[in-house]
């Protein structure tokens, strides 16, 4: 039960849910996420750190940028829960707006 609690705690924030919704669409860097969410880059980094420490996301170096993406979870139960959450997140008006805004931006212009 501890692994489910850890997953839910990591997702228990509107900005982190929006980040997960965005990352279920495609990979993004901190500056893109900050622009879409209208929060500071340090705030985005704190949210990403919490999501990364819970295993929900991972990152890779992508030229000058670090790209973040959803990571397959080791625990199958947690993976089912996260999949269900992301399917529903993508349907929310806020995440749909976020994705639309993200598609209209270029990381070259932001960072």
Phi–psi pair at 93, nearest 5 degrees: -60, -40
Angle at 81 between CA 65 and CA 10, to 5 degrees: 50
Q: Which domains are seen in the chain, by residue range?
A: 2-99 (1.10.10.10)
- Residue 2 is predicted with a pLDDT of 82
**Model confidence at 1: pLDDT above 80:** no
Taking the whole predicted model, whether its pTM rises above 0.85 is answered as: yes
Which has more pLDDT, 62 or 88?
A: 88
The residue length of the chain stands at 111
């Amino acid at each position: 039960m501890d692994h489910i609690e850890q997953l839910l705690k990591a997702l228990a924030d509107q900005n982190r849910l929006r980040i997960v919704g965005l990352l279920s669409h495609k990979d993004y860097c901190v500056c893109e996420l900050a622009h879409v969410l209208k929060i500071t880059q340090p705030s985005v980094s704190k949210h990403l750190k919490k999501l990364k420490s819970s295993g929900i996301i991972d990152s890779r170096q992508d030229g000058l940028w670090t790209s973040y993406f959803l990571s397959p979870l080791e625990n199958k139960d947690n993976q089912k829960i996260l999949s269900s959450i992301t399917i529903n997140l993508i349907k929310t008006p806020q995440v749909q707006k976020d994705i639309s805004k993200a598609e209209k931006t270029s990381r070259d212009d932001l960072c």
